[in-house]
Amino acid sequence: MSISYSSVYEPLTEQGAISLTVRLGLFREGAPLVCREIGDGNLNLVFRIVDKEAKKGIIVKQALPYAKVVGESWPLTLKRAVIESNALRTFAGYVPQYVPKVYYSDESLAITVMEDLSHLQIARKGLIEGKTYPLLSQHIGEFIAKTLFYTSDFGMNQQEKKQLAQSFVNPELCKITEDLVFTDPFFNHETNNFEEELRDDVEALWNDDKLHLEVAKLKRKFLTEGDALIHGDLHTGSIFASDEETKIIDPEFAFYGPFGFDIGQFFANLLLNALSRPEPQQEPLFAHIDSTWKVFTTIFSELWHTNNVEPYAKTKGLLEEVLHHTFVDAIGFAGCEVIRRTIGLAHVADLDGIENKEERLQAKRHALRLGRSLILQRQNLASTEEIRSLFTESVSL
């Protein structure tokens, strides 16, 4: 179902969310419905409506006209709800098994009504509890390979690609990433947030010209390279998982961006979780990094050889060049994300949740060293196994 009606925007209440789903005929007549606002992200309201008898749920997500994590002082476009529902629909065209079904969207109310995934758990929460999600990297690798390939100049009509890219121009949400991931953490900026004990380590980053040059190059890629439709915020809080299933949610940051960005964000958030674990329990995270890259390159390469629309596709060396740059960029993007989630705005519970203060500060110092090494060493890494060596070096200093 995909109808739209115009109305004046106002934030939904729990009762309003129930009325909407009833009006849309998503529940049977007279069903005993309960609704709770369950949003724990940085930006939106999320209502879960459940038919208590049929035990069937529906999610109503509504964008707020400001960033919830900061408050009304940070206005934010409602257009992100349209970007999100359109991205979910576009991704569903290639990998329906990895995204929630969208039942309805309304641009003027900034609402997306979708499948309830509460039989799954947000991957970040599960990873913090020590879960390993054996199929996570298989699924994420396939999701990234197919969505990137099919929305790129290699996988779709190149004129249609330009039109699709136009419909995903997302300047305000991109600016959040440009500022929060690529800029503010590397300068003395008011959005930064860190314990005073880390000041020396943080100021070292602010004064590191060599690092600044490399981050500037990565930021430039994010600003200018429109390889494919990317999710744009693929951290472990944007993934629902169980041992069998994986669903990617929240693509409100989607836009035409560089191939390596989603991979880099995913790697970074696995590494942040590894930093919070005792060494013997880190192995599954490194295995996920290896396997994501392996699955991604295998599927992307298969599609390259079988479905490519670019006349140069068979030119010797082109695929290798694309994959090499994607890898190097992903490592660099991962480094920026690790640093921002440690000292910038929007931290992660993996690190902030470490109760012992000394252990927490130590893990954060390790994160800053790891982030810096990923950025500076990215050209020298030959494989994902070498990410593990950088990690080991960073935590042993």
Can you give the binding site for ligand SR1, defined by CB under 6 A? 42-43, 67, 69, 176-177, 180, 233, 345-346
Stretch touching Mg ion by CB under 5 A, among 34-42, 97-105, 159-167, 175-183: 34-42
111: phi then psi, degrees, rounded to nearest 5: -115, 140
Smallest distance, Å, CB 84 to ligand SR1? 12
Give the DSSP letter string of 118-161.
TTSEEHHHHHHTT---TTHHHHHHHHHHHHHHHTSTTTS-HHHH
Stretch touching Mg ion by CB under 5 A, among 41-49, 158-166, 330-338, 354-362: 41-49
Size of the site for Mg ion (CB under 5 A): 2
Smallest distance, Å, CB 130 to ligand SR1? 23
What does 67 interact with, of ligand SR1, Mg ion, none (CB < 5 to 8 A by kind)? ligand SR1
What does the alpha-carbon distance between residue 383 and residue 371 come to, in Å, rounded to a whole number? Answer: 17
Which of 275, 287, 283 minimizes the C-alpha distance to 374? 275
Strand pairing class (44-51; 102-106): unpaired
Stretch touching Mg ion by CB under 5 A, among 174-182, 245-253, 288-296, 358-366: 245-253
Strand pairing class (246-248; 239-241): antiparallel
Tokens of 355: 């109760």
Query: Which residues, listed in sequence order, are joined to residue 115 by a DSSP beta bridge?
Result: 58
Asked if 262 interacts with Mg ion (CB under 5 A), we say: no
- 8 Å CB contact between 339 and 333: no
Burial of 155 (0-12, 13-18, 19+ CB in 10 A): buried
Q: Which is nearer to ligand SR1, 124 or 388 (CB)?
A: 124
Smallest distance, Å, CB 286 to Mg ion? 25
Smallest distance, Å, CB 80 to Mg ion? 10
Which residue's Cβ lies closest to Mg ion? 250
Asked if 84 interacts with Mg ion (CB under 5 A), we say: no
Q: Which is nearer to ligand SR1, 155 or 371 (CB)?
A: 371
Residue type, 253: F
Smallest distance, Å, CB 191 to ligand SR1? 9
250, 262, 329, 337: which one binds Mg ion (CB under 5 A): 250
Strand pairing class (255-257; 102-106): unpaired
Q: Which residues bind Mg ion (CB under 5 A)?
A: 41, 250
